[in-house]
Chains A and B, each alone.
Chain A
Amino acid sequence: MKKHLIAALMGATFMLPVAVNAADYVIDTQGAHASIQFSVSHLGYSFVVGRFNEFSGDFSFDAAKVADGKVNVKINTNSVDSNHAERDKHLRSADFLNTSKFPEASFTSTSIVDKGNNQFVINGDFTLNGVTKPLTIDAVAIGEGKDPWGGYRAGFTGTTSFAMKDFGVKMDLGPASANVELALVVEGVKQ
């Protein structure tokens, strides 16, 4: 028993550096220095803009080795907020996000391609409404450095878009409104 415990501890010790590398930043949802905003055309005349208020995630990022980075984000789909109770109720229903059945959406990166000039492309798997499909996020590294409170932060923006139909959304808002634009602002605190 004791031997097993020591072996496990030793194993854990060896694994520790790897574990830290895998997720060395936690997205600052606690302090709300991050947001996931969506935008859908309204009839082709304007846009409905909303947010997912609750999400969490982590990432690893090294400006010198961008391709080694990783991102994981989980979104509580029940937290959809377009600033209109009736519409949000509809968005949570089976016509759109089906949140009682699929309360979580997620994005997990599979590869990151450095485009230079602080720009890169994140390829990954996006799960929404129970459907998982590849999704590509265009990202920009905004800045990183020490914060005034003893921590170290790195921040990014990302944009992507997808067709609602591809993720099994039943409601048809018309051809002008088939796509959702996602705009992410992600600030991570180094652990």
Chain B
Amino acid sequence: MLKNTPTGYGLVTIMIHWLSAIAVIGLFSVGYWMVDLTYYSSWYQTAPHFHKSVGLLLLGLTLLRFVWRTISHAPSPLSNHQPWEKRAAKWAHTALYTLMLLIMCSGIMISTADGRDIWIFDWFAVPFPDAFIDDQADTAGVIHQYLAYSLMGLVVLHAAGAIKHHVIDKDNTLKRMLLPSRISK
């Protein structure tokens, strides 16, 4: 139930997947909106604060996700999937993870270019090293922005793939990411 099986996802992977999905889409939306807030908007301080807090929590969750993947291996692709579909899905998943990590790292590099900590809500401050490169805040900012657009493109592709399998192929691809595998082995 908790762990993945050879044929399906367990509850932990499913929870992490959907939490990450909500966080990624929420972070993108808030990020896109907050950069144009006026100075006197009541969100001017809070939106970036929440964006950074949730972003760092997502980084933690993603690192846990990688650990969990080594403990509980992902199930094999469904047998009806074409070889090109398997290849494309694998490529897309790797790219999703890579982009997420790069976006989170570049985001951190904007806020910590002067050696400041990042606060996770008002719970605690996470320390980070000082700038690594010249003009770090600006360079990281541009990378953060365009990789986020790229990630959204991939998210659309990823979701389109899942819907295609569900609606056209009528297979279990989407369902097994919604319901934990019951085979307890």
Are A and B subunits of one complex?
yes
- Bound state CA distance, A86 and B48, in angstroms? 11
Indicate whether B40 reaches chain A with its CB closer than 8 angstroms: yes
Q: Size band of the B side of the interface? A: 10 to 19
Indicate whether B113 reaches chain A with its CB closer than 8 angstroms: yes
| A84, B114: Cβ atoms closer than 8 Å | yes
A residues with CB within 8 A of B? 78, 83-86, 88-89, 92, 171-174
| B40, A174: Cβ atoms closer than 8 Å | yes
Contacts of A92 in B (CB 8 A): 138
| A89, B114: Cβ atoms closer than 8 Å | no
What are 18 inter-chain pairs, A to B, with CB distance below 8 A?
Answer: A84-B116, A85-B110, A85-B111, A85-B112, A85-B113, A85-B131, A86-B48, A86-B110, A86-B111, A86-B137, A88-B114, A88-B137, A89-B110, A89-B113, A89-B141, A171-B39, A173-B39, A174-B40
Indicate whether B80 reaches chain A with its CB closer than 8 angstroms: no
Q: Other than the known A86-B110, A172-B38, A174-B39, what 16 A-B pairs have Cβ atoms closer than 8 Å?
A: A78-B135, A85-B112, A85-B113, A85-B114, A85-B116, A85-B137, A86-B48, A86-B111, A88-B137, A89-B110, A89-B113, A89-B137, A89-B138, A171-B39, A172-B39, A174-B40
* B52 nearest CB neighbor, chain A only: A86
The B81-119 residues at the A interface (CB cut-off 8 A) are 110-114, 116
